[in-house]
Amino acid sequence: MPQTIKLALLDDYQKVAMRLGDWDRLKKRGIEIMVFHEPFSSVDDAVQKLAPFQILGLLRERTAFPRALIEKLPNLKFMVLTGARAASLDDKAATERGIPISTTPGGGSNAPTAELGWALLMMCARDLAKAERLARQGKWHDGIEQMVVLEGKRLGILGLGKLGSRAAHYGKAFGMDVVAWSQNLTPEKAEAGGARYVSKDELLATSDFVSIHLALSDRTRGLIGAADLAKMKKTAILVNTSRGPIVDEAALIAALKNRTIMHAGLDVYDKEPMSADHPFTKLDNITLIPHLGYVVEESYRHFYDGTIKDIEAWLDGKPINLLNPEVLNKKPA
């Protein structure tokens, strides 16, 4: 192990990492810390900038770590993933190189993401993003066309896990009729989660609001495509705070352009950060926010405290919270 160990903290877009973590604990042990505030432009860019580092601190899924990147980082010895999993990280490639990956589980409440999702739904219902822009221009009510009340409307929830159940609770509090569907959902589970089970087709065809709360997997990738959007009401609003690829992006753009559905609200995208010239930015019936679901101070403090503890344990030769425990039986490459 080199005399000076270098740690790279990635994707600190808001420049809060050093303020919200007690990094002196690592500095006292000889760790040299560098923070990256901007995303990498390509795998080659990431390779060039990360090559000197032995430890990488990943902030959720902001930077993908495919095999092509992991195999080209000659000094990499340890990775910390904030959160409990990341579909964009090739843990098998890391294991083959003998690189342990620790996580920061037990993040506490999922309230930040659930609250953000509900706030986005309410913004879409009254098109508050447009209303705010018009008010700044002195246009008052001029141009405000979308006026939808929640009470009495149907909320269709795709995915009734912890986040979906919170959405169901919020919907009922607003006097909505709440229905739900997912591949594994049963009528009994739906009732326990605060909703009524319906088929996917019925949910899409009858819901005034469709809110997505599913993990991204092979089964859910592209789950909502052109045919599904065509089944929805022309007055329907689609909200996605889960993962971008669950909804076919091209199909959604076409549906919004053609007014197949009335509005969409997104916190997640196929590629993040979303480019300033993305087709979504040219549409007037979509509300866009920059993946803020978990972005609150409490979450960051948990992530960075967990990162520090994981690194301390690794330095002590006793790594914890391993995503790939089988790596302990493999010699480093």
pTM of the model: 0.87
**In which band, very low, low, confident or very high, does the pLDDT at 84 lie, cut at 50, 70 and 90?**
confident
On average, the pLDDT of the chain sits at: 94
Which residues have a catalytic role annotated?
A: 243, 272, 291
Over range 76-85, report the average pLDDT: 90
User: pLDDT value at position 19?
Assistant: 96
pLDDT over 60 at 38, yes or no: yes
Residues 6+ apart with CB under 8 A from 217: 87
pLDDT over 60 at 332, yes or no: no
What are the backbone angles phi and psi of residue 199, rounded to the nearest 5°? -70, 165
pLDDT over 90 at 109, yes or no: no
What are the sequence ranges of the domains in the chain?
A: 5-108+296-329, 147-284
**In which band, very low, low, confident or very high, does the pLDDT at 30 lie, cut at 50, 70 and 90?**
very high
User: pLDDT value at position 333?
Assistant: 56
**In which band, very low, low, confident or very high, does the pLDDT at 331 lie, cut at 50, 70 and 90?**
low
Over range 167-178, report the average pLDDT: 98
User: pLDDT value at position 107?
Assistant: 65
Over range 195-220, report the average pLDDT: 98
**In which band, very low, low, confident or very high, does the pLDDT at 295 lie, cut at 50, 70 and 90?**
confident
Residues 155 and 237: their CA atoms lie apart, in Å, by: 10
Protein fold of 5-108+296-329: Rossmann fold (3.40.50)
**In which band, very low, low, confident or very high, does the pLDDT at 108 lie, cut at 50, 70 and 90?**
low
Residues 36 and 34: their CA atoms lie apart, in Å, by: 7
User: pLDDT value at position 1?
Assistant: 47
pLDDT tens digits for 123-171?
A: 999 999 999 999 999 988 887 888 899 999 999 999 999 999 999 999 9
Helix, strand, or coil (residue 224)? strand
CA-closest candidate to residue 195, choices 218, 168, 221: 168
From 3.40.50.720, 3.40.718.10, 3.20.10.10, 3.30.830.10, which CATH number describes the 147-284 domain? 3.40.50.720
CATH topology match: 5-108+296-329 vs 147-284: yes
Helix, strand, or coil (residue 113)? helix
Over range 293-302, report the average pLDDT: 89
pLDDT tens digits for 223-282?
A: 999 999 999 999 999 999 999 999 999 999 999 999 999 999 999 999 999 999 999 999
**In which band, very low, low, confident or very high, does the pLDDT at 83 lie, cut at 50, 70 and 90?**
confident
User: pLDDT value at position 85?
Assistant: 75
Residues 6+ apart with CB under 8 A from 38: 13
Encoded amino acid at 32, one letter: E
